[in-house]
């Protein structure tokens, strides 16, 4: 199954176009950029295409500089370039989600994320007694021992 999820920044505004056939199907194309695997790697860019109603939504709701999460299918296209054929990756959008302002795409270890402040549980009032009580802590679940044999278990010792 070909399924990709990519967190990226839109570096070229989405352009809405239509196919040349009788169907006149809408498609939006844009370029996105995402950080390299290592801190010294340059950012990579990728062509992204959305079709139909999704294409119109992309063109209306997203612009250059937006940070997004894109779900879709990755494909390879062969394009002629300087007398030879070059392969280029393209992501066909199935879903797109906005990350909002201020979200960093940098994945290096030098960045720090701020966690939400921890919150203590508030007292819960019981209807029968009318007394405020603290919720009970969740107890960890332990797995029972498996009756399956190990390599050094005799077949006659297995309970059935």
Tens digit of each residue's pLDDT (9 = 90 or more) over 25-70: 999 999 999 998 888 999 999 999 999 999 999 999 999 999 999 9
Contacts of 9 (CB under 8 A, 6+ apart): 32, 33, 34, 65, 66, 67, 68, 105
- Output the pLDDT for position 23: 79
Q: Does domain 4-98 have CATH number 1.10.10.60?
A: no
- Burial bucket for residue 55 (CB in 10 Å: 0-12, 13-18, 19+): buried
Q: And the tokens for 143? A: 């797995």
Q: Is the pLDDT of residue 126 over 50?
A: no
Q: Which residues pair with 97 in a beta bridge?
A: 69
To the nearest whole percent, how much of the chain has pLDDT over 70? 62
Virtual CA dihedral for 147, 153, 156, 157, nearest 10 degrees?
-50
Q: And the tokens for 81? A: 């370039």
Higher pLDDT, 59 or 107: 59
């Amino acid at each position: 199954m070909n399924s990709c999820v990519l967190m990226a920044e839109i570096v070229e505004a989405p352009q809405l176009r239509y196919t040349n056939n009788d169907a006149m199907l809408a498609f939006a194309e844009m370029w996105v950029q995402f950080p390299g695997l290592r801190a010294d790697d340059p950012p990579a860019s990728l062509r992204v295409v959305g079709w139909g109603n999704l294409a119109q939504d992309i063109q209306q709701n997203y612009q250059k500089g937006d940070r997004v999460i894109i779900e879709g299918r990755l494909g390879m296209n062969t394009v002629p370039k300087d007398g030879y054929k070059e392969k280029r990756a393209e992501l066909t959008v199935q879903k797109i989600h906005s990350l909002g302002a201020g979200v960093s795409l940098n994945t290096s270890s030098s960045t720090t994320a701020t966690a939400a402040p921890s919150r203590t549980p508030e007292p819960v009032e019981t209807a029968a007694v009318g007394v405020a009580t603290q919720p009970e802590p969740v107890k960890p679940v332990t797995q029972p021992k498996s009756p399956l044999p190990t390599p050094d278990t005799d077949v006659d010792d297995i309970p059935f």
